Amino acid sequence: MCGIVGYVGKREVAPLLVEGLRRLEYRGYDSAGIAVLNENGLQSCKKMGRIDALAAELKKTKLKGHAGISHTRWATHGEPSDLNAHPHMDQSGRIAVVHNGVIENFQKLKEKLEKEGHVFTSQTDTEVLAHWIGVKYQKAMKSTNNGRLPIVSAVEEALRDVVGTYGIAVICADFPDVVVGARRGSPLVIGVGKGENFLASDVSAMIAQTRDVIYLKDYELAVLKPGGFDVYSMTSQQPTVQVSRVEWSADAAEKGDFPHFMLKEIFEQPQTIQNAVRGRINHEECTAVLGGLNLSATQLRAVDRIILMACGTSWHAALVGEYLFEELAGIPTEVEYASEFRYRNAPIEKNTIVFAITQSGETADTLAALRESKRKGHTTLAICNVVGSTIAREADGGVYLHAGPEIGVASTKAFISQITALVLLALYMGRLRSLSAALGKKIIEELELIPSKIEKILSQSGEINKIAFKYKASKDFLFLGRQSNFPIALEGALKLKEISYVHAEGYPAAEMKHGPIALIDKDTPTVIVAPRGNIYDKLMSNLEEVKARKGPVIAVATEGDEAIAKKADDVIYVPSTLEQLQPLLTIIPLQLFAYHFAVALGCDVDKPRNLAKSVTVE
Ligand code: F6R
């Protein structure tokens, strides 16, 4: 949600900033801009639209300099426009600010400033922050600032008055080789280079330049110069500066030969499952090995209840997790929308573990719900992809997904990795309780076969494309599934609607007759997730109910199920597996269906309208 890139060093800054923004474009893409420092002071260029529009503008303006900041925006305050694009300047025009987050008290600050004669050119909260920093700067110029640069003191002083969230980067014309950054609630990472340093919302912006990074914590302020950097805490705590080495390479954040990141990430899924499982199986004891939980076997045996909190696709993975924990470990499990949980006074008994499930580790609602659980004294664990993210750091322990960077805004490979991690967790906790070694062994054997089974489904991408094309005029879809394939129906519907903007609803198949059946007619296709299993026959009855109302049916079925082909209009087959693991296979055709459908409609799959990856505002 908004991407920030800053640089200070010897190289020409504009191309580096634009390159960094391109890698962050998935965080927001309604407008973009840069500001650079050079002998003329501070110069900026901003443009509504994608990074390409900014790059075209920069060709004309040819901004030169060796220090600068930049931003790709996902609008919160003020519509997408050239004027609302970041960077924003203070009243003097000598300080520029880019910002990710929301300044909740901006209106109050703005009114004060207006009374003092400040004039604003945009509708954004960020421009108010820039002016506020400018005011503090005027005062800091007249003070000693404890030996700090006045711009550093000004940023710190201004942020003390701010209510809300921010990841910011600031430059000032009076300090041509300094970039200041600070965060609270929105991520910010320093990239450590030789004779140069970077600042960005996310590692992918600078991975092509450096793999040594420092994840800033809330209330930390960083001052970057070509030859080094300082990190200060804006609280009484001492900052702990730790340089981490990023494991993945720049290629992982490239599309390669794929037309879209989403398709690349769908095709990476056999590999991402292997990455999530690697080193985490104890074959002898038929269980999983999960060292990062930081809980002993005795503590885990004492767990009476599990709460899984998440948003969006990660919430769908949590729903699959509920089936897994209850079935394999016999632990009562509840799934909560993080955004609801954070404001509820939900009683949580002793011996409850709260899991936050999140790809980015930065989702504002999930982070707030995690903090709320911690405040109430509960053990909190994270199932998270992004190493060093806020949620990963603040949880008491957890499981990393090792899925590599997920750039496509619609989550695919992180979802499958989350389910894999939940399988491992349920297996581990089950084996500490009553799950038999025989079933544990079977789960492991089947889990290890899943990547090759996914390959088989991926090889049907061409046929799935034809099916998607056939239905491309449809405006409404119903997705049905039961048991652990019900969350898959929800996820299939979400994938379709978020990237192709058609209406799609996921439902538990048997619930259809309590209302949604009214939607069914010849123009409303139903996608039914119906692999063989203990309620297969019931699903067939649901399918008949759709057909009886002339609804077209696309079925996801188990290989060899010829009976379903006689009833459904189209069938996509998946290999058979244990029922508990079916979601790992049944989601793949639905991801491909959504992808091909959106491409057939000419939609921008990797950057769907109104969306941004990593929702760091409420
Ligand atoms: C949908 C999607 C979102 C995210 C949600 C939570 O394709 O990607 O629904 O799943 O915003 O994000 P994380 O998992 O980063 O907390």
Among 306-310, 406-410, 437-441, 553-557, name the one with the lowest average pLDDT.
406-410
pLDDT value of residue 30: 87
Whether the pLDDT of residue 618 is over 80: the answer is no
Distance 316 CA to ligand 1 centre (A): 10
**Residue of 204, 192, 127, 129 lying closest to 160 (CA atoms):** 129
For ligand 1, whether the C-beta of 498 sits within 6 Å is yes
pLDDT at residue 1 is higher than 80: no
Model pLDDT, residue 343: 83
What confidence category does residue 156 fall into, taking pLDDT thresholds of 50, 70 and 90? very high
Query: Does the structure show a pLDDT above 90 at 14?
Result: yes
Q: Would you call 288 helix, strand, or coil by DSSP?
A: strand
Express the helix, strand and coil content of the chain in percent, nearest 5 each. Answer: 40, 20, 35
- In whole angstroms, how large is the CA radius of gyration of the chain? 26
Q: Are residues 173 and 274 in the same domain?
A: no
What integer pLDDT is reported at residue 32 of this predicted model? 95
Name the residue with higher pLDDT: 21 or 342. 21
User: Of 416, 437, 459, at which residue does a domain stop?
Assistant: 459
Residues with Cβ within 8 Å of 249's Cβ and at least 6 positions away in sequence, in order, are: 207
The number of distinct structural domains making up the chain is: 3
Tell me, yes or no, whether 115 and 165 share the same domain. Answer: yes
Ligand 1 pocket check for 615: Cβ under 6 Å: yes
Domain carrying residue 522: 460-618
Residues 215 and 315 in one domain: no
Same domain for 430 and 331: yes
The alpha carbon of 280 and the centre of ligand 1 are apart by a number of angstroms equal to 25
Q: Looking at ligand 1, which residue's alpha carbon is closest to its atom 8? A: 411
Instruction: Give yes or no: residues 110 and 85 share one domain.
Output: yes
Once rounded to an integer, what is the mean pLDDT over residues 54-58?
Answer: 94
Mean pLDDT, all residues of the chain:
94
Residues 146-155: what's their mean pLDDT? 93
Please list the active-site residues: 2, 613
Q: pLDDT confidence of 125, banded at 50, 70, 90?
A: very high
Q: Rounded CA gap, 395 and 32, in Å?
A: 33
DSSP 103: B
Q: Do 56 and 149 fall within a single domain?
A: yes
Same domain, 242 and 263: no
CATH classification at residue 111: 3.60.20.10
**76 ligand 1 Cβ < 6 A:** no
HSE value, Cβ hemisphere, 13 Å, CA-based, for 34: 31
User: Please, what is the Cα angle at 62 between 57 and 68, to 5 degrees?
Assistant: 95
Helix (H), strand (E), coil (C) string for 166-194: EEEEEEECCCCCCEEEEEEECCCEEEECC
**What pLDDT, in 10s, does the model give residues 134-143?**
999 999 998 8
CA torsion sign, 89 to 90 to 94 to 98? Answer: negative
The closest alpha carbon to 390, from 201, 231, 206, 209, belongs to: 201
pLDDT band at 429 (very low <50, low <70, confident <90, very high): very high
Structure tokens at 290: 């999960």
What average pLDDT does range 509-534 have in this prediction?
A: 93
Mean pLDDT of 446-464: 97
Beta bridge partners of 31: 48, 73
For residues 446, 449, 450, 454, the Cα torsion angle rounded to the nearest 10 degrees is -150
Domain end residue (candidates: 223, 246, 269): 246
Q: Are residues 558 and 434 in the same domain?
A: no
Confidence of residue 445 (pLDDT cuts 50, 70, 90): very high
Q: In this structure, are 422 and 495 located in the same domain?
A: no
Q: Identify the domain boundary among 246, 270, 299.
A: 246
For residue 239, what pLDDT is reported? 86
- pTM for the whole thing? 0.86
Digit-coded pLDDT (tens) for 236-266:
888 889 999 988 777 777 888 899 999 999 9
Q: Do 50 and 88 sit in the same domain of this protein?
A: yes
Q: Does residue 79 surpass a pLDDT of 90?
A: no
Burial 364-398 (b: 16+ CB within 10 A, else e): bbbbbbbbbbeeeebbbbbbbbbbbbbbbebbbbb
Peptide bond into 150 cis (omega under 30): no
Calculate helix-pair angle for 150-160, 125-140, nearest 10 degrees: 130
Q: Which atom of ligand 1 is nearest to the CA of 311?
A: 6
CB of residue 383 inside a 6 A radius of ligand 1:
no
**Judgement on whether residues 441 and 577 belong to the same structural domain of the protein:** no
Q: Which amino acid is residue 268, in one-letter code?
A: E
Same domain flag for 375 and 507: no
CATH assignment at residue 513: 3.40.50.10490
Tell whether the model's pLDDT for residue 540 goes beyond 90. yes
